[in-house]
Structure 1
């Protein structure tokens, strides 16, 4: 299944669930004692794309003001969730330099990563921007990371939740009962094929992060220029 089919199937199933009241609220968003942390390798979209995303979010906020919206600083594409967030994970449990070295080795044959953000999809608990890599560079790089990490003895949980294959960005999460689900879906429908722009990733970040990639809880461990 290609990315378009995946996004379309996800949207059809999720939009129907949202309209039927079968969406899911995230009960942890406002939990100050949430101690789920992990290590993520990610890309941040360009400033122009983030500005276009915020225009979309402004329209969502007009109909659903009490939901959780990602600020510019938190918007990202996950290249690989190296250690999926879990309760009690802290940086002193690992040797960060070993992770940096392994990633650096994996970068040797990396081609340019170019991604287009086009359209919007949904899950039962969130709204996402659809990302489409222009070639196989991102997936090839992910495969190289998988190969190198699995050959190592470093703690990792790559693909433990699911094998990442898309380049989407989550931009809104449901934290409170939806006031206007029909209007919400109308706004999403308006942007279903909207062109948010294309960009070439100039650098990749390795970060220590909470479940929601909130900047206030993020520690940047390394920056890789490509």
Structure 2
């Protein structure tokens, strides 16, 4: 995959839709009865990188204060959605040690993963930071996860929605109609190529999570040092 081309194409088509009021508002983001949960393997960026992201989000909040902005505690990169969130999922439904064993088996020696957060992309429902990997180690791990989980009878929903290949991070979701759309999109354009920094991946977390990875709902099940 040509990652830069992929991100750029997604950005152009999504920004055009947003500009045409063809964007998606998340009706469940503030719903206390939202009961969608699952388990995810994820990476958390460094504090320095997350603080750079917050500077960008603060600019957006000036013109659109009521959209949903990710806090530092919730910013993440999805390595793999092992069980995509659905209504009523509970940890008691699965044997966590078996999942941990499969993930351990899927890791590779000395992956030496660094991720650069540079520039923005979008979808009709959110704004994302573009992530670029320094090597192919993370995708090798993803392929190992696909193969190893396929050979078990464990509950999983890997690649059911789409086969993840990127290291983007969602940082804004639309929770209501944009009131200052032109100013909002102008600030997006200002940060289109902004470099938020690079960080070395030291561990990967397996978590029990809600749809938005809100800290109050997330439970860390295991940390894999890499």
TM over 0.5: yes
Using the TM superposition, give the Cα deviation of residue 109 of structure 1 relative to its aligned residue in structure 2, in angstroms: 3.3
Q: Which residue number corresponds to residue 44 of structure 1?
A: 44
Find the residue that maps to 1:215 and give its secondary structure.
coil
Could you tell me how far apart the structure 1 residues matched to 2:95 and 2:144 are?
Answer: 21
How much is the aligned-residue C-alpha RMSD, in angstroms?
0.8
Whether 1:62 and 2:74 are equivalent positions in the alignment is no
- Indicate conservation of the 8 Å contact 1:110/1:141, yes or no: no
Using the TM superposition, give the Cα deviation of residue 119 of structure 1 relative to its aligned residue in structure 2, in angstroms: 0.1
Query: Structure 2 length as normaliser, TM-score?
Result: 0.98
Whether 1:224 and 2:224 are equivalent positions in the alignment is yes
Using the TM superposition, give the Cα deviation of residue 108 of structure 1 relative to its aligned residue in structure 2, in angstroms: 4.1
Q: Which residue number corresponds to residue 79 of structure 1?
A: 79
Query: Structure 1 length as normaliser, TM-score?
Result: 0.98
- Indicate conservation of the 8 Å contact 2:108/2:141, yes or no: no
Q: Which residue number corresponds to residue 12 of structure 1?
A: 12
CA deviations on 1:40-87 (whole Å, 9 max, x unpaired) are: 000000011000000000000001000000000000000000000011
Q: Which residue number corresponds to residue 97 of structure 2?
A: 97
Using the TM superposition, give the Cα deviation of residue 110 of structure 1 relative to its aligned residue in structure 2, in angstroms: 5.3
Unaligned runs of 5+ in 1: none
Could you tell me how far apart the structure 2 residues matched to 1:90 and 1:207 are?
Answer: 12
Could you tell me how far apart the structure 2 residues matched to 1:170 and 1:23 are?
Answer: 15
Large movers: runs of 4+ above 4 Å? none
Unaligned runs of 5+ in 2: none
Could you tell me how far apart the structure 2 residues matched to 1:138 and 1:127 are?
Answer: 23
Find the residue that maps to 2:41 and give its secondary structure.
strand
Matched residue count = 226
